[in-house]
Amino acid sequence: MTTSTRPVSVPSLLLAALSWAMAGATAAAPARLTPAEIPWPAAPAGQQAGSSMQSGVESLIVYGDAGKAALYSIMFRVQPHAAIPAHSHPDDRSCFVVSGVWLFGYGDKYDAALLKALPPGSHYTEPAHVNHFAGTQNQTTVVECTSMGPAGTTFVDLGNDPRR
């Protein structure tokens, strides 16, 4: 048997992730949005469940309710030159980079040497209770994560938590 590899486009990956998310849900309203139609908040959604809540990070739940024990998808639009400090979430997440380059690393503190540059179409995971950090360089980056809630965020250094 031969195996072929074919490039997969970012929109195809995002559609697959959202389709997977919708397959497990009941009574979901149909939704079709182009990137221009995504209703990003006018200002960063500072207290969004499951967000890093950092300046320069806009968060939007595009499917489900992250506060409940149910399937949800969250998108992040992160401004250039962002540095998101180490934190974790109580839920396992499967994520895709939609646009821009996402710098992502695992560990208990932000360490630029541990960041891996993930271009559009890249996949990464945020395992439950595993500390991670992220950032951007000179461009806005959009990331989508799908998980089973409830979502939450715990910072390694509580001084980085904007809720305090």
Does residue 3 sit within a domain? Answer: no
3-state helix vs strand vs coil in the chain, percent to 5: 15, 35, 50
pLDDT tens, position by position, 15-60? 444 444 444 445 678 989 999 999 988 655 556 677 778 888 999 9
Residue 36 and residue 43 in contact, taking contact as beta carbons nearer than 8 Å: no
**What is the rounded average pLDDT of the residues 114-124?**
98
CATH value at residue 88: 2.60.120.10
162 found inside a domain: no
Residue 80 structural domain: 57-155
Residue 115 is assigned to a structural domain of this protein? yes
Which pLDDT does position 6 carry in this prediction? 47
pLDDT, residue 25, reads: 45
**CB-based contact 94:87 (threshold 8 Å):** no
Please give the tally of structural domains in the chain: 1
Write down the pLDDT at residue 154. 94
Q: What is the pLDDT of residue 55?
A: 82
Enter the pTM of the model.
0.80
The answer to whether residue 113 is domain-embedded is yes
Q: What is the DSSP letter of 4?
A: -
Residue 104 lies in a domain: yes
